């Protein structure tokens, strides 16, 4: 039995280092499938018994975070809001800085400076000190350790100077207060930017929060969509959002499904049609029965995918994480060495030695490294989602960016999946109406595009009705059936020697009954997509279970040179593995028979109208069946990876340049604190640029 996944809402995480503290704590407890998303304020894990949960929550809170029921309902006290802490610090820091330029002599008095600085220092100790202490206790020292040590050193040094009346050269109260104020300013920017990067998920969550009109004993009761149960009858009027997934019982409506498909043209719905929660009724009204509610709805699953994707780390981040983890102890060591060398070897005074050491501490911000990847991934995923592309993992982005091959299934992927019967050839004097009846009875039980088209194509033609006892679909082969009289039927391709235009065979009791010729249309945008892929130096490949002559015909029409036809699901796996050995491989497919290949490929991509199995097997779902979204997906992935690399370069380069400058004494601690906050803003700003950036 699978272990239960525990989900906790944790507030108080403000950077990747916070997330790593919790991750390390949970790892030490032997928990599995750990996922900590600092931006989404979520922690998930499995393993451990239910009795352990109170202890785990207590230990997470022991690190300085808070476990809450619902972050949206959590009211942050006035004094705990980061914006208010910053304003309080800024008001008191201003006179400490102004004493350098204003002729007010009382501001030069060390006791006055101490009185003004003390509240800021206490605030800094409570805000950064608690987090610093808990992070050291948890074995993952975070950036707050540097801020706390730096500001405390400046304050204590100044306090000793004031008590012993050592004069102005020992007054650094403004340094202590400014460090705290500027870092709080950086935290304010960070909080706002992170909330912008997570806006895609928040927008989707808002869509879920609607009311539903429940039909009870002929009357209407308004309830929250959360309280709807499967089997409930709901009334949805013009202008309303469909509250949950379900089926239409009565009425007609035009429903805008653009939030799922990106397609703005409304879809007409009538009795028995499926409707999806969160879509909008633009015209008409319907009564529906709820089939999927809560976490089972399409929208809830999309939100879950987005959250998982935001938390999944690309390999490129692992380097950043490793550096961030050893960074804080390394910086403290560099600061100590700087102090010793400046004081003893450089024969500088205590004042200069201490200032240089403090400058090293406050300039070294691993936060920029921690933010480099998650912010870019969040914005990239959000932009993809707005274009109807659901990516199931941040690590997917990196695999896609290096793709060398894109392998396409043919039916329903490169072709429309709308088939027409060109010809039915009856064998051995069989009755054509009886053949049509057998085909309809069997294919009614399948979701395959060919099956649906056959049923639709035959619905107006005369046929003999057949009652079936059982029908079974065989992956990549066709359908087996048995009627109430015990006759056995097979309809499909299999490995049959179907010749010429005919591509399906119907057997009755292992005797050939008919040959059927079926054709489908190529999607109008397919040729353009193949041309675009070739421009991007990606090799397109066709991999299908269909006959070689048909696959070749489609490949020639749209410009694909590499063709693998007549492949069963297990044979498709072998082909995918061969391509994977040569380079990163993306597989795009839509049917149950593609599911193993989608899982095997470096990245599996499925269409929204695919079978549920294909959607679950793929790491990317294209909600818009237009193939142009494949190019958009590749472009977004490439630009997201480029943004991550730019962010990491900036974060590394900044620290490599800034630390030696600070150690050599060319950087005032206040300038260092400002530069540190600025580095976070640059990284986040570069990530946000991805929202509007022109993709090429």
Indicate the pLDDT class of residue 593, thresholds 50, 70 and 90: low
More confident residue, 199 or 551: 551
pLDDT at residue number 250 = 93
* Alpha carbons 480 and 498: distance in angstroms, whole number: 18
- Both tokens of 406, joined, read 């894109």
Q: What is the mean pLDDT of residues 131-144?
A: 72
Q: What is the mean pLDDT of residues 111-131?
A: 87
- The terminus-to-terminus CA distance of the chain in angstroms comes to 47
pLDDT at residue number 1 = 40
Indicate the pLDDT class of residue 203, thresholds 50, 70 and 90: low
Name the range with the highest mean pLDDT among 263-272, 292-301, 407-416, 481-490: 481-490
Indicate the pLDDT class of residue 482, thresholds 50, 70 and 90: very high
pLDDT at residue number 221 = 92
Q: Which of 12-21, 298-307, 360-369, 529-538 has the lowest mean pLDDT?
A: 360-369
Alpha helices in 48-172 (DSSP H): 53-62, 82-98, 110-124, 130-137, 143-163
Residue 560, strand partner residues = none
Res 682 pLDDT > 60? yes
Res 407 pLDDT > 90? yes
The model's pLDDT over 448-470, given as tens digits with 9 standing for 90+, comes to: 667 877 888 888 888 888 888 88
In this structure, the strands spanning 389-391 and 245-256 are unpaired
pLDDT at residue number 313 = 53
Q: Which residue has 């809001």 as its token pair?
A: 81
Q: What is the mean pLDDT of residues 563-580?
A: 84
Among residues 240, 245, 409, 520, the one annotated as catalytic is 409
pTM of the model: 0.56
The answer to whether the Cα torsion of 114, 117, 118, 124 is positive or negative is negative
pLDDT at residue number 236 = 94
More confident residue, 34 or 322: 34
pLDDT at residue number 668 = 66
Question: 677: which residues sit within 8 A by CB, 6+ positions away?
Answer: 182, 183, 185, 186, 189, 365
Q: Is 409 a catalytic residue?
A: yes
* Alpha carbons 499 and 405: distance in angstroms, whole number: 31
Question: 309: which residues sit within 8 A by CB, 6+ positions away?
Answer: 377, 381, 391, 392, 393, 394, 396
The mean pLDDT value of the chain amounts to: 79
The answer to whether 501 and 366 have CB atoms below 8 angstroms apart is: no
pLDDT at residue number 290 = 94
Q: What is the mean pLDDT of residues 383-395?
A: 76
pLDDT at residue number 192 = 66
Distances (CA, A) of 683 to 312, 468, 652, 662, 688: 19, 64, 11, 21, 9
Q: How many residues does the chain have?
A: 696
Q: Residue 106 — φ and ψ, nearest 5°?
A: -65, -25
Helix H or strand E encompassing 588: strand 584-589
Res 397 pLDDT > 70? yes
Q: Which of 279-288, 446-455, 632-641 has the lowest mean pLDDT?
A: 446-455
The model's pLDDT over 350-381, given as tens digits with 9 standing for 90+, comes to: 777 877 887 777 666 555 666 677 778 778 88
In this structure, the strands spanning 403-408 and 584-589 are parallel
All structural domains of the chain, each given as residue ranges with its CATH number in brackets, are 5-75 (3.30.70.100), 80-198+312-377+644-692 (no CATH), 211-298 (2.70.150.10), 389-414+523-634 (3.40.50.1000), 416-521 (3.40.1110.10)
Burial class (CB in 10 A: 0-12, 13-18, 19+), 622: buried
Name the range with the highest mean pLDDT among 72-76, 101-105, 246-250, 321-325: 246-250
Query: What is the DSSP track for 364-399?
Result: --THHHHHHHHHHHHHHHHHHHHTTEEES-HHHHHH
Res 324 pLDDT > 60? no
Name the range with the highest mean pLDDT among 48-52, 184-188, 282-286, 425-429: 282-286
The answer to whether 367 and 646 have CB atoms below 8 angstroms apart is: no
pLDDT at residue number 262 = 45
Distances (CA, A) of 694 to 401, 544, 690, 691: 17, 35, 8, 9
The answer to whether the Cα torsion of 174, 175, 181, 185 is positive or negative is positive
Q: Which of 162-166, 409-413, 670-674 has the lowest mean pLDDT?
A: 670-674
Distances (CA, A) of 369 to 15, 191, 317, 646, 688: 10, 16, 9, 11, 16
């Amino acid at each position: 039995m699978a272990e239960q996944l525990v989900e906790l809402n944790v507030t108080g995480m403000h950077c990747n280092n916070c997330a790593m503290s919790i991750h390390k704590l949970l790892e030490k407890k032997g928990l599995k499938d750990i996922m900590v998303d600092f931006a989404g304020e979520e922690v998930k894990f499995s393993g451990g018994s239910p009795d352990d949960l109170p202890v785990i929550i207590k230990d997470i809170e022991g690190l300085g975070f808070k476990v809450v029921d619902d972050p949206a309902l959590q009211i942050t006290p006035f004094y705990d809001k980061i914006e208010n802490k910053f304003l309080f610090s800024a008001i008191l820091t201003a006179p400490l800085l102004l004493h350098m330029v204003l002729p007010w002599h009382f501001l030069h008095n060390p006791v006055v400076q101490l009185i003004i600085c003390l509240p800021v220092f206490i605030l800094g100790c409570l805000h950064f000190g608690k987090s610093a202490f808990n992070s050291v206790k948890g074995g993952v020292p975070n950036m707050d350790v540097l801020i706390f040590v730096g500001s405390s050193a400046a304050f204590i040094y100044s306090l000793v100077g004031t008590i012993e009346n050592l004069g102005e050269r020992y007054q650094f109260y403004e340094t202590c207060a400014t460090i705290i104020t500027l870092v709080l300013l950086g935290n304010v920017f960070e909080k706002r930017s992170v909330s912008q990067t997570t806006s895609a998920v928040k927008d989707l969550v808002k869509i879920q929060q609607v009311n539903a009109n429940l039909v009870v004993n002929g009357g209407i009761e308004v309830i929250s969509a959360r309280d709807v149960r499967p089997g409930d009858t709901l009334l949805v009027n013009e202008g309303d959002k469909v509250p949950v997934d379900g089926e239409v019982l009565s009425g007609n409506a035009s429903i805008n499904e653009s939030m799922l498909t990106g397609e703005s043209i409304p879809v007409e719905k009538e009795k028995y049609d499926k409707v999806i929660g969160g879509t909008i009724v633009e015209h008409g009204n319907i009564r529906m029965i709820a089939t999927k509610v809560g976490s089972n709805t399409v929208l809830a699953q999309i939100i879950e995918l987005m959250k998982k994707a935001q938390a999944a780390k690309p390999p490129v981040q692992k380097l950043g994480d490793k550096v961030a983890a050893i960074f804080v102890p390394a910086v403290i060591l560099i600061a100590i060495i700087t102090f010793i060398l400046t004081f003893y070897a450089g024969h500088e005074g205590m004042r200069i030695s201490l200032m240089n050491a403090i400058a090293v501490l406050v300039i070294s911000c691993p936060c920029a490294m921690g933010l480099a990847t998650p912010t870019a991934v969040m914005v990239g995923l959000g932009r993809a989602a707005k274009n109807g592309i659901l990516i199931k993992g941040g690590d997917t982005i990196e695999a896609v960016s290096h793709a060398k091959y894109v392998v396409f299934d043919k039916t329903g992927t490169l072709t429309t999946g709308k088939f027409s019967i060109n010809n039915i050839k009856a064998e051995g004097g069989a009755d054509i109406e009886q053949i049509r009846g057998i085909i309809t009875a069997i294919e009614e039980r399948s979701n395959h595009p060919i099956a649906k088209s056959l049923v639709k194509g035959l619905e107006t033609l005369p046929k003999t009705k057949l009652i079936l006892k059982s029908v079974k679909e065989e992956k990549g082969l066709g359908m087996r059936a048995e009627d109430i009289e015990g006759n056995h039927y097979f309809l499909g391709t299999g490995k049959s020697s179907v010749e010429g235009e005919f591509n399906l065979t119907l057997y009755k009791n292992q005797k050939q009954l008919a040959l059927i010729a079926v054709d489908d249309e190529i999607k109008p945008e397919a040729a353009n997509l193949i041309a675009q892929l070739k421009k991007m130096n990606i090799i397109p490949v066709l991999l299908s279970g269909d006959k070689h002559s048909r696959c070749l015909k489609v490949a020639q029409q749209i410009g694909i040179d590499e063709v693998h036809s007549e492949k069963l699901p297990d044979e498709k796996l072998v082909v995918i593995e061969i391509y994977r050995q040569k380079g990163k491989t993306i597989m795009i497919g839509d049917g149950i028979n593609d599911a193993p290949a989608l899982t095997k490929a470096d990245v599996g991509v499925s269409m929204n109208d695919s079978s549920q199995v294909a959607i679950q097997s793929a790491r990317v779902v294209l909600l818009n069946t237009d193939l142009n979204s494949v190019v958009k997906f590749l472009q977004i992935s490439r630009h997201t990876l480029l943004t991550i690399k730019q962010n990491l370069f900036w974060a590394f380069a900044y620290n490599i340049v800034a630390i030696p400058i600070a150690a050599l004494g060319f950087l005032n601690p206040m300038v260092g604190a400002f530069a540190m906050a600025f580095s976070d803003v640059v990284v986040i700003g570069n990530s946000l640029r991805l929202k509007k950036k022109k993709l090429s």
